[in-house]
Structure 1
């Protein structure tokens, strides 16, 4: 064979291998994105189950409406923010490639990456917005929730992602943040955004007595909630799979540090188990046991690439022990009516995960900026807390002033399904009372 012919064959093989790698990577993120849809099936099930029957469909419909709005908003706004603001509030040149009219923002046979990464990030955004949704059930207006979800999902969290979940994000390049599983920009931001909303939204009618003691308000279908939470856990394997990048030679984290899917598999499963057992031991509550699986995922998320699996279990187990206690403090001492404990699970769970990485992953080198440190992790956690809380409080306060945040008292007593949804969740059950027919007991 002539040298020129041999060279052509080698080049053809290299091109074919490059294309196969691109297509395989594209397929991987396609299925990660599809798997993340199960997170939203889970949110639907567990929130409807955690609601009383009179509010079941309204609790689900608000999620569906927000999801549908969020997709185009992330296309037109969110993806640009991620690419444009890694250094702070100055606009990076890379943002031009994420504008809606850019060549990479549509079908392009030479681009196997842009659309699939945009899709994965869109599902990250939708997941972030849905974290808030369970906390506010049974009294928030669908319109008000949709506005809050759009802002959280297409602006607030993705600004945090640009700062701390980007190869050049300033939290990493300046402070050495390491958060491969997005405990900060997703969970901490969403949890503290939710806290700001809950302060203005207020508690459900009947949640507190005049003397400040707490009444239990039980959802109408605990098994549905448990199945929904398990679906969310399943979906997080897609979420975390989307947090790792295949370069053709090896896997890399979002920060371009080396990693393997094996490390993610070890530590995700150990985290799930640790969080479940921790929450179960302190509550004996099946709802909190399954919420503990989420606590475990979040607690170990920042160091999935580097933790020794028993360490991931221990960090998540400790998270499972403390997070239910923090939820009780929010409820009893601060009168924050978080219907599903999302502020504690996601907000404080995210903070614990970031701080734990500052202790147990300290010294691990980042590609850009200083090595992982306790100080850098704590400072970054504070940034994420403020980035979530301040917009959540300000926007919900504005909606409250315009009467768009909370439904009318009579609507809340009768059930939001009657006002927000034109069909009944359980049409063959007994008729619900009309507006103004008196207060219902907390269990109804």
Structure 2
């Protein structure tokens, strides 16, 4: 009998160990596939930006997007991940941050660590998303190397610093002020939109965008179908993005990244209701398929901070109203002389701001964990202000320095010819599409806000 009990105890111990390893591997697999889905976001941004560009700039826009992804991944490995773990309390380095340095045993193949690599990968894809948000807004006139510097600063420094402060269980915005941003509307979308606004103020509009009286011209996308399909791919990728915002706890309940109990079911309800509401809002306001899809995206962003909390009809209402409002904001931005080629500031910046602030209105009083204050409007407003400034101020200052040195923007003649002719060794459409004509003599003497018009494609 005693021998049988010993054997039974050994079998129970083996079963427990196997179950624990199975749970660990399931966690690893979950974030692996979240990361794979998030790459679909970048396929979407690639198609979206190529479609939004004119024919003479299609491949230059593609190269810019591909290189942003390629440069952000290694820079996020070398210092971005460390920033997240080093600065949750502010600007002092936290204990244990050395485990995130690139030479740490955790930052490579390690049979005792099944978590760091997949979490790093998901965060690296968040970082690349912020760079892609900037990328679309600045198409057709920014220098490639200037853009890459800006993308690295945004993707591997600024957004992850914001995430350390407000998207981290130890972040000071959460622990001291009750800030709540479950789906990263603030630390990804708001900060990227604010950074983009700062850059656009220095970059200036594309040649031909504005007339002498300041009225805007439509520089039409060369392929609206490609643009719309790209936006739909971004939506597909968002299911990986938002899946990566929830914490898989082997043997226990899911939590949001701040440690509050959450479910994938709540994310599913509210993501789809936000997407649907945004599309309907865009349709009510514009009847434009580009804006319907953009508003579907902004609908998700507008409910992202409270994905774990919203009653689905409330999420639908928030998204629908946001879908009506954001195209009006984009039109106002265009009218005041800011050329945002894809509406990134309105969709991501304003959509992210709405997402953060509505939580302070509709979810105030929701309890926090570990003694942190409950959700409150002041905490949400403070998070909005911090992330807005953390994006806008560096974006404006760095791009201002680049502008003063002539490094920010391509030369006028290159912009008129098209970036593909200068930057790309192949043609996007070698059959059936004619390159743009050269600038005419009569164009040279006309005042288009300091620039001549681009010939029609």
- CA deviations 1:135-177 (Å, max 9, x no partner) are 0011111111111101100001000000000001001011101
Contact 2:438 2:455 in 1 (8 A): no
Aligned residues: 443
Q: Distance in 1 between matches of 2:344 and 2:146?
A: 19
2:75: which partner in 1?
73
1:50: which partner in 2?
52
* Aligned match for 1:426, one of 425, 429, 444: 429
Q: Distance in 2 between matches of 1:256 and 1:237?
A: 20
Q: Distance in 1 between matches of 2:438 and 2:421?
A: 9
Mapping of 1:305-384 within 5 angstroms? 305-332=308-335, 334-368=336-370, 369-384=372-387
2:278: which partner in 1?
275
2:165: which partner in 1?
163
- CA deviations 1:185-229 (Å, max 9, x no partner) are 000000000000000000011111111111111110000000000
Unmatched 5+ stretches in structure 1: none
Aligned pair in 2 of structure 1 residues 316, 442: CA closer, same or farther (>3 Å)?
farther
Q: Distance in 2 between matches of 1:373 and 1:97?
A: 34
Contact 1:216 1:442 in 2 (8 A): no
Larger CA deviation: 202-211 vs 367-376: 367-376
Q: Distance in 1 between matches of 2:73 and 2:455?
A: 36
What TM-score does the superposition give when structure 1 sets the normalisation length? 0.98
* Aligned match for 1:194, one of 193, 196, 212: 196
Contact 1:215 1:442 in 2 (8 A): no
2:143 aligned with 1:147, yes or no?
A: no
Q: Distance in 2 between matches of 1:342 and 1:78?
A: 23
Mapping of 1:217-232 within 5 angstroms? 217-232=219-234
Mapping of 1:11-22 within 5 angstroms? 11-22=13-24
1:244: which partner in 2?
246
1:115: which partner in 2?
117
Q: Distance in 1 between matches of 2:12 and 2:376?
A: 46
1:395: which partner in 2?
398
Contact 1:270 1:309 in 2 (8 A): yes
Q: Distance in 1 between matches of 2:134 and 2:17?
A: 46
Contact 2:72 2:152 in 1 (8 A): yes
Q: Distance in 2 between matches of 1:434 and 1:319?
A: 41
2:448: which partner in 1?
none
1:82: which partner in 2?
84
Quote the offset at 1:441 in angstroms. 4.3
- What is the SS of the residue equivalent to 2:137? coil
Contact 1:263 1:304 in 2 (8 A): yes
1:259: which partner in 2?
262
- What is the SS of the residue equivalent to 1:172? helix
- CA deviations 1:95-121 (Å, max 9, x no partner) are 111001111001011111000000000
- What is the SS of the residue equivalent to 2:390? helix
- What is the SS of the residue equivalent to 1:228? helix
2:289 aligned with 1:303, yes or no?
A: no
Contact 1:184 1:381 in 2 (8 A): yes
Contact 1:52 1:443 in 2 (8 A): no
Quote the offset at 1:33 in angstroms. 0.2
- CA deviations 1:422-441 (Å, max 9, x no partner) are 11111123442577666654
- CA deviations 1:320-350 (Å, max 9, x no partner) are 1111111111111x21100010001000100
2:36: which partner in 1?
34
Q: Distance in 1 between matches of 2:27 and 2:58?
A: 39
- CA deviations 1:241-293 (Å, max 9, x no partner) are 00111111111110111111111000000000011111111111110000011
Runs (4 or more) in structure 1 with deviation over 3 Å come to 433-443
Quote the offset at 1:402 in angstroms. 2.2
Q: Distance in 2 between matches of 1:435 and 1:95?
A: 56
Contact 1:82 1:162 in 2 (8 A): yes
- What is the SS of the residue equivalent to 1:258? coil
- What is the SS of the residue equivalent to 2:255? strand
Q: Distance in 1 between matches of 2:318 and 2:170?
A: 28
Q: Distance in 2 between matches of 1:106 and 1:3?
A: 41
Contact 1:207 1:442 in 2 (8 A): no
2:410: which partner in 1?
407
- What is the SS of the residue equivalent to 1:359? helix
1:132: which partner in 2?
134
Q: Distance in 2 between matches of 1:239 and 1:400?
A: 34
What TM-score does the superposition give when structure 2 sets the normalisation length? 0.95
